[in-house]
Amino acid sequence: MLKKALVFAVLIFFLVLPFLIRSNYLLGMLIVTGLYSIIVIGLGILMGYAGQVSFGHAAFFGLGSYTAAILATSCGWPTPAALLAAMALPGLVAALIGRPTLKLKELYLALATLAFGILVHILFNEGGEITGGPSGLAGIPYLSLGGLVFDRDIEFYYLVLAVVLLVSLAVNNLIQSRTGRALRAIRESEHAAQTAGMDTSLLKLQAFVFSAVLAGLAGGLYAFYVTFISPSPFSFHMSVQFVLMAVVGGLGTFWGPLQGSGLVVALGEALRWAVPLVIPGAGGEYQIIFFGIILVLVMIFRPAGLGSLLSPQVNQERAGRPGGREVDGGVAGG
């Protein structure tokens, strides 16, 4: 259950935060963290409830970005329409990929999304004039909603805050609803869920498509925030970071995606600063070593996520089943 007072307190904290930090660098980090947390909320539904993993969410993020950017520049669409398309296209693609693969073992969706992610990244790079190739697309307009143009960081910050709040509340509704019970039931026992009348393939597909739509939304917003996009933020490594954010924050928790995104973004920044001090001359994406190791450790010791450290109730709830769900039990024997 969600404590309303806590939600309000956190909301007020984030409402006044820009006035406390007075730093464009930190404000930019907060905006990016907020955008990532939108993706991670969706990924959390997919991983924590439907029991599936995607290593291609950076591609959905990128598809959203490029869709919004191309439609708003070359095609001259109004920015809100381009943003809607940025949500629709990844959702559609996810439906196509997810339908056959979700019926199979976890492995197959992981592989299909991984391949899809790399493929899309190649397409961004090789897309010629349409995607601008490795140098990307510039001159993306600011988002304008009914006369209000989001052309300053502070305005965009409040927009992202509102979107994160709305998405969080919607997902909170979802997990306590009939559909959410079904998603949780699938995680606990897929066979029992099926024989209770739940179309588990469809529910997993819906969770997957929903997560892709959220990634597309974040991507569209990202394009309108930075107004210049290139393929590099949509690489496979970013997909891994999204998975890391989801599990570090804690799967199946309300606060997990926010905590996870914040922690990983902060860690990335800290490493960017610290590693060259320790290992002079280190260049490139060396942070990924640490992200990888942290991910392995979390998966081994706390598959339910570090967020469960912070909310004892959930921690206790998960304690009995570190390995996650049982699948085969009910069918053997006879």
Q: What angle do CA 230, 248, 297 make, to 5 degrees?
A: 105
Nearer to another protein, 208 or 224 (CB): 208
Nearer to another protein by Cβ, of 36 and 124: the residue is 124
* Contact between 101 and another protein per CB under 8 A: yes
DSSP-derived pairing of the beta strands 144-145 and 148-149: antiparallel
Region class of 176: left (phi > 0), else alpha (psi between -120 and 50), else beta? alpha
Name which position in 30, 41, 53, 84 contacts another protein (CB under 8 A): 53
CA dist., res. 135 & res. 230, Å (int): 6
Considering the rule CB under 8 A, would residue 14 count as an interface residue with another protein? no
Task: Tell me the three state secondary structure of residue 189.
Answer: strand
User: Which residue carries 């991910």 as its tokens?
Assistant: 295
C-alpha to C-alpha distance for 30 and 255, rounded to whole angstroms: 16
Residue type, 24: N
Q: How far is the CB of 271 from another protein (least distance, A)?
A: 11
Instruction: Select from 323, 156, 295, 154 the least CA-distant residue to 223.
Output: 156
Give least dist CB 155 to another protein, A.
26
Which span sits near another protein by CB under 8 A: 16-24, 81-89, 261-269, 297-305? 297-305
Of 24-32, 36-44, 45-53, 137-145, the segment contacting another protein by CB under 8 A is 45-53
Q: Which CB atom, from 59 or from 140, has the smaller least distance to another protein?
A: 59
7 binds another protein (CB under 8 A): no
**C-beta of 106 vs 155, nearer to another protein:** 106
Is 221 a binding residue for another protein by CB under 8 A? The answer is: no
Q: Which stretch binds another protein (CB under 8 A): 3-11, 34-42, 62-70, 109-117?
A: 109-117
Q: How far apart are the first and last CA of the chain?
A: 40
Q: Is 173 in the site for another protein (CB under 8 A)?
A: yes
Please give the Cα distance from 26 to 48 (Å, whole number): 30
Q: Which of residues 120-139 bind another protein (CB under 8 A)?
A: 122-123, 126
Question: Is residue 210 close enough to count as binding another protein by CB under 8 A?
Answer: yes
Closest CA to 65 of 232, 260, 206: 232
CB of 107 to another protein, least distance (A): 6
For residue 71, state whether it binds another protein (rule: CB under 8 A). Answer: no
Applying CB under 8 A, does 270 fall inside the site for another protein? no
**What is the Cα–Cα distance from 158 to 154, expressed in whole angstroms?**
7
Q: Cα dihedral sign for 160, 163, 169, 170?
A: negative
Nearer to another protein, 151 or 326 (CB): 326
